[in-house]
Amino acid sequence: MSIEIDHINKHFGNFVAVDNVSLNFRDGELTALLGPSGSGKTTLLRIIAGLEQPDTGRILFHGEDTTDKHVSERGVGFVFQHYALFKHMTVFQNVAYGLTVRPRSTRPNKAEIKEKVMRLLELVQLDWTAHRYPSQLSGGQRQRIALARALAVEPKVLLLDEPFGALDAKVRAELRRWLRRLHDEIHVTSVFVTHDQEEALEVSDRVVVMNKGHVEQDGSPEEVYDHPANPFVYEFLGNVNLFHARVHDGVARIGDVSLPAPEYQGYKDEQGQAYVRPHEIEVFADSQHTDALHARIELVSVVGPTVRLELRTDNSEDLVHAELPKHRYRALGLSQGGDAWIRPIHSRVFLPDERAA
């Protein structure tokens, strides 16, 4: 089921929660709505669901205008951050619930319900919990049951609002990989809200970055991470260093380093800011490269297989963050308090007026 969001606006009092948003979600796609708190993600999700009415604009499901349809007529399944399972029902009864409350004419019989529920419990790999109560499950297991319950009614669209938000980091990481695999199996059009960039990049086919009610960028995880459309997306999607840059005819100069800036072809001697990710900084132990900047290593932190360095260049008040594999750090013989030479290997420059943004 494809979903088209056509010029949607929504305000609460004077506050604009969704600001003229248009998007298309393709059939079977898993899309993340990513943005800081208050950027309008949940409001947009609720509008898709039919839990909230837009002020203006339309929602189309598979080309059909659904804006005025009641939530119960849209064929959507939900999973929220706080797994709202019924405490007094077993896992089996929770998953079966949506089927048992159907009108008699469309309600499956007992045997059919049993078969379907057990199939869903197998899908979320929790068939052994069928006779347990929610209180006897871990948080991650409850979220998988909530998902099985949402899937039981065969929704055409699955909407997830921070589904793993209340769980600890390890369980979260496991569940998002699991959601990705599950989605590859069932291919239901899914939209999930998150403010966690790693989660959005890892799980989804597509990432919509929102800020202050509008869409800053819409693209594949690679596109939004490797080619952020503007400074907001750059900074929201991960750590970044800012360097002063001079742009001249498609070339950006950061100190003595020249890097391509093809979007500024024809520009003459403009000043801007170069955005460089920590892993896009090359680190050397000596001054073999004449264009590298000398710096002192102020802090070394080892995070699993990666070493993060905080460096201060000779003429800069700012710290530069660099990241390199541990084996490379060791081979270079670098250490905290010692010298290093650094060179950006990739940058994206934004001029103050963001003409190229």
Smallest gap from residue 45 Cβ to ligand ATP (A): 8
The one-letter amino acid code at 154 reads E
Q: Are 186 and 199 in contact (CB under 8 A)?
A: no
Instruction: Residue 191: name the closest of 31, 350, 325 by CA.
Output: 31
> Which of 46/144 has CB closer to ligand ATP?
46
Q: Residue 170 and residue 139: Cα distance in Å, rounded?
A: 12
Applying CB under 6 A, which residues contact ligand ATP?
12, 15, 17, 35, 37-43, 193, 195
> Which of 37/290 has CB closer to ligand ATP?
37
Q: Are 69 and 50 in contact (CB under 8 A)?
A: yes
> Which of 36/250 has CB closer to ligand ATP?
36
Smallest gap from residue 8 Cβ to ligand ATP (A): 12
> Which of 190/313 has CB closer to ligand ATP?
190
> Which of 18/179 has CB closer to ligand ATP?
18
Smallest gap from residue 237 Cβ to ligand ATP (A): 16
Consecutive H or E run containing 46: helix 41-49
Instruction: Residue 44: name the closest of 14, 86, 7, 1 by CA.
Output: 7
Smallest gap from residue 90 Cβ to ligand ATP (A): 31
**What does the buried/exposed string (b/e) look like for 189-216 if buried means 16 or more CB atoms within 10 Å of the residue's CB?**
bbbbbbbbbebbbebbbbbbbbbebebb
Smallest gap from residue 348 Cβ to ligand ATP (A): 26
Q: Where are the beta strands (DSSP E) in the chain?
A: 3-12, 15-25, 30-34, 56-61, 64-65, 76-79, 157-161, 189-194, 206-211, 214-219, 241-248, 251-254, 257-260, 270-276, 281-284, 293-303, 306-313, 319-325, 339-344, 348-350
Smallest gap from residue 170 Cβ to ligand ATP (A): 22
> Which of 25/264 has CB closer to ligand ATP?
25
